[in-house]
Amino acid sequence: MTILPGSVGTLSASDDIEHAIAPEPGRTALLKDMLFGQASTIFAFSVVVIFLLVAILAPWLAPYDPLAQSVLSINKQPSWAHWLGTDQFGRDVLSRMIHGSRNSLLFGLISPALAAFFGTILGVTAGYFGGVVDRVISRVVDLLLAFPELLLAIMIAAVLGGAFWNIIAVITVAFIPGFARVARASTLAVKQEPYIEAAVAVGLRTPTIIIRHVIPNISAPILVLMTLWVASAIRLEASLSFLGIGTRAPNPSWGNIIRDGLNNLFGSPWPIIAAGFAITCVVLSFNLMGDAVRDVLDPETTR
């Protein structure tokens, strides 16, 4: 509809300051543009989707049983029969990689997501309410930070045992302090903003203010941190496997493929090359995706 000059409400046509802003595309169109506008984002997105598909379809994709050993084909170079060669037990590296992606991606995705969730709750609570609440939460977080992640993980795993969900819990707890810190610091900054006071003045209650005004404004650093820690989670799982707490041999994960490969580096380098390459690809892709998601969430980078 058009606004007639001097019609209801408008002061007059001449006193508005910005007549022309570019037409507003719909939100979904914008999202599409942000996600698929850049080549690097498309690449990252494709890599992640491919890896996820591989993980889901592992039993149908893998050419061999990942656990089947064969004395006749130990330490083979890549060939048409074994695309990535075989390891010191004659197991097909490609099949182990495909099956291993399940464990690694699950650990790599679930733990940072859970850690971000709980860490944000803790950090925002501490930052927004301050006082005693802040002191208690911050000291507990400091205590957890004082331990190296791996040590903390071993400690919890030793108490709980090495079942799948225990390992997830272990990695999650190890990552929570980092998220809590970032969330707390960002909340402290956002809390000072006049729009929070304005939200109070409108009559919003504290939970609504936190969910609608604080969390959206601190989401960017948390998302980026989350994508960065996908890598750390995969690495931590590998370390735990190495110590015999994570995925147990002979079951494959990218982490223990590297560990096994290290002992047999001169026999066949292919397990390490393959697993290292896969981890690098996934981590890089997640980081690129994190940047893209952050840009989508921040309206000021839209134009």
Partner 1 sequence: MTIAPSLSRQQPVSSTHPGPLLKVEDLSIEFGPEGTAVRVVEGVSFSIDAGAAVGIVGESGSGKSMTSLAVMGLIPSPPGRIATGRILFEGVDLLGLPRSRMPEIRGRDIAMIFQEPMSSLNPVMTIGDQIGEAIKLHEKMGREERRQRIIELLKLVGIPDPERRLGAYPHQFSGGMRQRVMIAMAVACNPKLLIADEPTTALDVTIQAQVLELMHKIRRTLNTTILLISHDLGVIADICERVIVMYAGKVVEDADVKTIFRSPKHPYTRGLLQSIPRLKDENTRLYQIPGMVPLPGTIKQGCPFFPRCPDRIDKCARETPPLLEITSQQKAACWVSAGATS
Q: How far is the CB of 35 from partner 1 (least distance, A)?
A: 18
In terms of CB distance, is 2 or 39 closer to partner 1?
2
Residue 43 found at the interface with partner 1 (CB under 8 A) = no
Beta bridge partners of 86: 92
In terms of CB distance, is 196 or 278 closer to partner 1?
196
Q: Which residue has the tokens 């919003």?
A: 204
Residue 133 found at the interface with partner 1 (CB under 8 A) = no
Cis status, amide bond into 299, omega within 30 of 0: no
Residue 4 found at the interface with partner 1 (CB under 8 A) = no
Distances (CA, A) of 134 to 145, 186, 254: 16, 14, 39
The DSSP output letter for 252 is -
Pick one of 160, 204, 224, 273: the residue that binds partner 1 (CB under 8 A): 204
Q: How far is the CB of 200 from partner 1 (least distance, A)?
A: 6
Cβ contacts of 68 within 8 Å, gap of 6 or more = 91, 92
In terms of CB distance, is 23 or 165 closer to partner 1?
23
Question: Which residues 207-236 are close enough to bind partner 1 by CB under 8 A?
Answer: 212-213, 216-217
First to last CA, the chain: 26
d(CA 77, CA 269): 9
Contact region with partner 1 (CB under 8 A), list: 62-70, 114-122, 175-183, 197-205: 197-205
Contact by Cβ (8 Å): 278, 101: yes
Q: How far is the CB of 294 from partner 1 (least distance, A)?
A: 12
Encoding tokens for residue 236?
């931590």
The DSSP output letter for 209 is I
Residue 132 found at the interface with partner 1 (CB under 8 A) = no
Q: What is the dihedral of CA 40, 44, 45, 49, to 10 degrees?
A: 150
In terms of CB distance, is 11 or 72 closer to partner 1?
11
Pick one of 81, 146, 198, 249: the residue that binds partner 1 (CB under 8 A): 198
Contact residues toward partner 1 (CB under 8 A) are 1, 3, 8-11, 13, 15-19, 21, 23-24, 27, 193-195, 197-205, 212-213, 216-217, 297-300, 302
